Amino acid sequence: MRIDHYLSDAEASSGVRALPSGPGADAERLPGALLAPLSGVTDLHLRRIARRLGATAVVSEMVAAEDFARGTAEARLRAEGEGVLPHVVQLAGCDPHWMAEGARLAEANGADVIDVNMGCPAKKVTGGEAGSALMRDLDHAARLLAAVRGAVAVPVTVKMRLGWDHAALNAPELARRAEDLGLAAVTVHGRTRQQFYTGRADWAAIRAVVETVSIPVVANGDVDGLEAARACLNASGAAAVMIGRAAVGRPWLVGAVAAGLQGRDAPDLTPAEQADLAVEHYEGLLARYGVPMGVRHARKHLAAYADHAGGLPAPERARLVTTTDPVEARGLLRRAFDADPAAPAAKQAAPAAKRAA
Ligand SMILES: Cc1cc2nc3c(=O)[nH]c(=O)nc-3n(C[C@H](O)[C@H](O)[C@H](O)COP(=O)(O)O)c2cc1C
């Protein structure tokens, strides 16, 4: 099945609740680039901007299914998707009952796709037998996927690692079970849980998953531009790439990579247009969380925008990430994107797809 089938079906959110999926589905591909779920980072505003700028799809931060089903404010905020189509909500947990409840509620609130987290390596998640810990017990993982699949009509996907460790590279087996249960796609981060984020993602190892299932496989890990995306797709045979850390501070990167992979021109954003997007993100956070909390939440984004833009001397950068005055922060953020008069003209004129490379 083509990744764009899966996504465009979800996109027709009012009508399409079933996916043309399963073995024997069309193998033709239009490669895409998705924004990865990043807990504490891929808030609604970042996702909106990335999607608007051409990301094939964007995924919410992981939402603890039980907290969400019980109605906690933080889980609700994480699962918001107004203005994002398709709205992909990632759920984390280890109890089939709560995962199903969370999925039902997410669907009722407008989710177009439910993604299940089986990749998070953090001790506080794996300690609760959720995230990548589920890869240690595939029978339980399958029960969880079956519960979610049975609870909703929208497509269900799963994001995993290569395995718990190199002694148990069981992503192909988990993906096969996911496909048998009717899941629509799988994403594989090319590391084991025991690697956390060390070393390099092994894109070639993802090929074993691609060769095992007919549903789309999305390859993830260390893709930071068009060249890496092409290399990742070549090595893995995947239908799409998913980009996480490299998109922080430049959410337009994902759309630029998607366009490059599809042979289209990416929008050629000027530094001033990039600054507008960064300010839009900042203001969205202030509006959503209120100024005191929004300012704190925005700091990591401000630092990332400034670092990618490269235009702020150290003292001003320090001020940008500590000021509690939104007017000052906005001014510094815009200054960070000011065209550097010493920079070669080509740097400013390069199309976004080329810059993404
Ligand atoms: C700060 C941070 C938060 C993350 N949060 C999540 C998450 O909520 N759900 C998830 O499936 N993966 C999460 N991940 C993993 C990423 O989605 C992705 O698999 C990983 O960063 C590798 O991709 P990258 O090299 O493009 O960043 C997180 C990673 C980071 C660095």
Query: Is 155 within a domain?
Result: yes
Helix/strand/coil for 267: coil
Q: What contacts 167, CB < 8 A, 6 or more positions away?
A: none
Mean pLDDT of 195-203: 97
Q: Report the domain count for the chain.
A: 2
The rounded distance, in Å, linking the Cα atoms of 222 and 312 is 26
Q: What is the pLDDT of residues 317-327, one digit of tens each?
A: 999 999 999 99
Query: Is 266 within a domain?
Result: no
Task: Give the pLDDT band (50/70/90) at residue 3.
Answer: low
38 and 156 part of one domain = yes
Query: Is 356 within a domain?
Result: no
The answer to whether 140 is a known ligand-binding residue is no
Q: What is the pLDDT of residues 334-356, one digit of tens each?
A: 999 984 434 443 333 334 444 44
Looking at residue 55, what is its pLDDT?
A: 97
173 and 44 part of one domain = yes
The rounded distance, in Å, linking the Cα atoms of 275 and 330 is 9
CATH code at position 98: 3.20.20.70
Query: Is 344 within a domain?
Result: no
Strand partners, 317: none
Query: Could you say which of 243, 261, 279 is where a domain stops?
Result: 261
Q: Which residues span the domain enclosing 302?
A: 271-337
The rounded distance, in Å, linking the Cα atoms of 335 and 26 is 49
The rounded distance, in Å, linking the Cα atoms of 78 and 40 is 9
167 and 314 part of one domain = no
**Contact (Cβ atoms closer than 8 angstroms) between residue 118 and residue 160:** yes
Please tell me if the CB atom of residue 176 comes closer than 6 angstroms to any atom of ligand 1: no
| Catalytic one of 46, 79, 120, 285 | 120
**Contact (Cβ atoms closer than 8 angstroms) between residue 81 and residue 44:** yes
The answer to whether 290 is a known ligand-binding residue is no
Query: Is 246 within a domain?
Result: yes
The rounded distance, in Å, linking the Cα atoms of 275 and 259 is 21
Mean pLDDT of 214-240: 98
Q: Report the range out of 4-18, 98-112, 263-277 with the highest average pLDDT.
A: 98-112
Q: What is the pLDDT of residues 58-100, one digit of tens each?
A: 999 999 999 999 999 999 999 999 999 999 999 999 999 999 9
46 and 187 part of one domain = yes
Query: Is 181 within a domain?
Result: yes
Report the nearest atom of ligand 1 relative to the CA of 62.
8
Query: Could you say which of 207, 237, 261 is where a domain stops?
Result: 261
Query: Could you say which of 200, 235, 261 is where a domain stops?
Result: 261
Please tell me if the CB atom of residue 122 comes closer than 6 angstroms to any atom of ligand 1: no
256 and 295 part of one domain = no
Report the nearest atom of ligand 1 relative to the CA of 243.
26
28 and 165 part of one domain = yes
Mean pLDDT of 233-260: 98
Query: Is 354 within a domain?
Result: no
Q: Which pair of structure tokens corresponds to residue 35?
A: 């924004």
Q: Which long-range contacts (CB under 8 A, 24 or more apart) does 77-84 make?
A: 77/44, 77/288, 78/43, 79/106, 79/109, 79/111, 80/44, 81/44, 81/47, 81/110, 81/111, 82/44, 82/110, 83/44, 83/48, 84/44, 84/47, 84/48, 84/51, 84/58
Please tell me if the CB atom of residue 244 comes closer than 6 angstroms to any atom of ligand 1: yes
Nearest CA to 145 out of 111, 172, 118 is that of 118
Which of the residue ranges 3-7, 31-35, 157-161, 251-255 would you say has the lowest mean pLDDT?
3-7
- How does the average pLDDT of the chain come out, rounded? 89
Is-catalytic flag, 120?
yes
| 79 vs 6 pLDDT, higher one | 79
Q: What is the pLDDT of residues 150-164, one digit of tens each?
A: 999 999 999 999 999
The rounded distance, in Å, linking the Cα atoms of 154 and 138 is 23
187 and 330 part of one domain = no
Looking at residue 126, what is its pLDDT?
A: 87
224 and 120 part of one domain = yes
| Cis amide leading into 292 (omega within 30) | no
Protein residue whose Cα sits closest to atom 21 of ligand 1: 244
Looking at residue 8, what is its pLDDT?
A: 53
For residue 288, give Cα distances in angstroms to 68, 87, 110, 329.
18, 18, 19, 17
9 and 95 part of one domain = yes
Q: What is the DSSP string of 22-69?
A: STT-------EEEEPP-TTT--HHHHHHHHHTT-SEEEEEEEEHHHHH
The rounded distance, in Å, linking the Cα atoms of 55 and 35 is 7
Nearest CA to 39 out of 5, 67, 4 is that of 67
Q: What is the pLDDT of residues 263-312, one digit of tens each?
A: 999 888 999 999 999 999 999 999 999 999 999 999 999 999 999 998 79
240 and 331 part of one domain = no
202 and 320 part of one domain = no
The rounded Å distance from CA 37 to ligand 1 centre is 6
Q: DSSP letter at 188? A: E
